[in-house]
């Protein structure tokens, strides 16, 4: 074969391969990002152009810097932007000053602890202060969107000197379990750790611009345990319990000592999609519930919205009424009441 014919063959095959690759990429965008509904063909067609133009999704979101709620930060991985919205100088939704004149309840959670007008911790302290006793309570909200309890443990150590904290409350369960399956399946790893901290520039470039690459990468990742398998479920529960146990010990050392029960942890309500293997409910959800209920400092509110499903805005986030229902459930729990009784001004 002549060189010219060889080059021509290579060129034609390259063009054909490129066309095939582009076609697969566009098809992947349509299948994963368009709102396809056979019963609503017009809406399906209208959603296709935006899906075709949406490359790898919201890339800034993968870098933890998509908005003021989550910015890169040493040790904690990320937290809110200081002085943005109603954040204080540390980047948290805390109304300074916080003094020893009040019993100060610090909540560490993800977006469900951060969001709200007001957030759940503020609803709790409002209910307490409405009792008009000699003791007044102040909310100290260290919640950060997407964060998990492993990060909250670090956050205690980073922030305990900033305020006189009397009681530490961990509010979560979703980011420690279900969110892990969606972003980085290794138990306890921060949201999107693999993308932000372990990918090469070339991999990040491909992930940024190609939905097809994301699909292939997900199929070929080298994580030892796949989400929702037996081993993964076991490790998720073990990490949850170990983190709570360690946080309990740290809280005893770093709080003011004015409360004999300086640590509480709350298992939040969230919805488990039908497509998730039943093994997750049996091995993760039920086991964590059992651990919370059997712990003297645990509060289980995971069933508090069973009769109020309309108060979910998605699988985890709530309306303001939903937050108030959860806050009321916490407020009325014997564990919460006894913890407050253990405090001395």
Give a three-class secondary structure readout of 117-183.
Answer: CCCHHHHHHHHHHCCCCCCCEEEEECCCCCCCHHHHHHHHHHHCCCCCCCEEEEEECCCCCHHHHHC
3-class DSSP state of 218: helix
Q: What percent of the chain clears pLDDT 90, i.e. is strictly above it?
A: 68
Q: Is the pLDDT of residue 76 over 80?
A: yes
Q: Could you read off the pLDDT of 125-155 as tens digits, one per residue? A: 999 999 999 999 999 999 999 999 999 999 9
* Res 4: pLDDT: 77
Per-residue model confidence (pLDDT) at position 163 = 97
pLDDT at 217: 74
Q: Which residue has the higher pLDDT, 215 or 335?
A: 335
Task: Output helix, strand, coil percentages for the chain, rounded to the nearest 5.
Answer: 50, 10, 40
Residue 222 CA to residue 211 CA, distance in Å, equals 19
Find out whether 339 and 297 touch, Cβ atoms under 8 Å.
Answer: yes
Torsion of CA 268, 270, 272, 273, to 10 degrees: -170
Mean confidence (pLDDT) of the chain: 91
Task: Inform me whether the pLDDT recorded for 63 exceeds 80.
Answer: no
Res 40: pLDDT: 72
Between residues 22 and 251, which one has the greater pLDDT? 251
Q: Which residues pair with 104 in a beta bridge?
A: 138
Specify the DSSP element, H or E, that contains 43.
Answer: helix 41-53
pLDDT over 70 at 58, yes or no: no
Helix (H, G, I), strand (E, B) or coil at 265: strand
Threshold 0.85, pTM exceeds: yes
Query: Nearest 5°: CA angle at 173, between 172 and 175?
Result: 85
Measured distance CA(57)–CA(72) in Å, rounded: 20
49 pLDDT exceeds 60? yes
Query: What single string gives the DSSP state of each residue in 188-212?
Result: TPPTTHIIIII--HHHHHHHHH-HH
Q: What is the mean pLDDT of residues 101-126?
A: 98
Q: What would the mean pLDDT of 39-68 be, rounded to a whole number?
A: 68
For the residues 244-249, what does the mean pLDDT come to?
98
Q: How confident is the model at residue 225 (pLDDT cuts 50, 70, 90)?
A: confident
User: How many CA atoms does the CB half-sphere of 344 hold within 13 Å?
Assistant: 4
Q: Which whole number is the average pLDDT over 150-176?
A: 98
Give the span between the Cα atoms of 268 and 262, in whole angstroms: 20
pLDDT at 125: 98
Q: What is the pLDDT of residue 97?
A: 96
Instruction: Yes or no: say if 47 and 35 are a contact pair by the CB < 8 Å rule.
Output: yes
Q: In this structure, are residues 171 and 143 in contact, taking their beta carbons and an 8 Å threshold?
A: yes
Confidence at 57, pLDDT banded by 50, 70, 90:
low
pLDDT grade, residue 240 (50/70/90)?
very high
pLDDT score recorded for residue 213: 78
Q: Residue 127: what are its φ and ψ, rounded to 5°?
A: -65, -40
Q: Tell me which of 177-181, 185-189, 299-303, 341-345 is least confident.
A: 341-345
Could you give the C-alpha distances from 103 to 99, 256, 259, 293, in angstroms and in order?
9, 10, 9, 25
Q: What is the mean pLDDT of residues 275-285?
A: 96
């Amino acid at each position: 074969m002549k060189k010219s014919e060889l080059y021509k063959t290579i060129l034609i095959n390259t063009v054909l391969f490129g066309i095939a690759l582009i076609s697969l990429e566009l098809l992947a965008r349509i299948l994963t990002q368009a709102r396809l509904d056979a019963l609503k063909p017009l809406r399906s067609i209208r959603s296709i152009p935006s899906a075709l133009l949406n490359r790898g999704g919201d890339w800034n979101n993968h870098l933890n810097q998509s908005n003021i709620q989550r910015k890169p930060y040493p040790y904690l991985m990320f937290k809110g932007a200081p002085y943005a919205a109603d954040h204080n100088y540390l980047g948290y939704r805390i109304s300074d000053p916080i003094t020893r004149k009040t019993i100060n309840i610090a909540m560490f959670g993800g977006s469900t602890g951060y969001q709200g007008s007001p957030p759940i911790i503020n609803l709790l302290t409002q209910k307490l202060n409405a009792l008009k006793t000699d003791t007044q309570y102040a909310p100290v909200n260290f919640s950060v969107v997407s964060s998990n309890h492993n990060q909250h443990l670090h956050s205690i150590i980073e922030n305990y000197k900033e305020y006189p904290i009397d009681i530490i409350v961990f509010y979560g369960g979703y980011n420690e379990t279900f969110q892990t399956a969606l972003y980085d399946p290794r138990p306890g790893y921060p949201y999107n750790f693999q993308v932000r901290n372990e990918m090469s520039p070339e991999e990040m470039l491909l992930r940024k611009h190609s939905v097809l690459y994301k699909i292939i990468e997900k199929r070929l990742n080298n994580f030892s345990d796949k989400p929702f398998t037996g081993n993964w479920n076991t490790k998720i529960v073990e990490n949850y319990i170990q983190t709570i146990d360690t946080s309990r010990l740290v809280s005893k050392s770093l709080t003011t000592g004015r409360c004999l029960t300086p640590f509480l942890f709350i298992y939040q309500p969230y919805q488990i999609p039908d497509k998730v293997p039943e093994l997750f409910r049996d091995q993760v959800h039920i086991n964590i519930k059992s651990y919370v209920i059997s712990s003297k400092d645990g509060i289980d509110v995971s069933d508090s919205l069973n009769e109020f499903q309309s108060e979910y805005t998605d699988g985890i986030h709530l309306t303001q009424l939903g937050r108030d229902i959860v806050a009321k459930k916490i407020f009325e729990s014997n564990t919460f009441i006894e913890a407050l009784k253990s405090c001395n001004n």
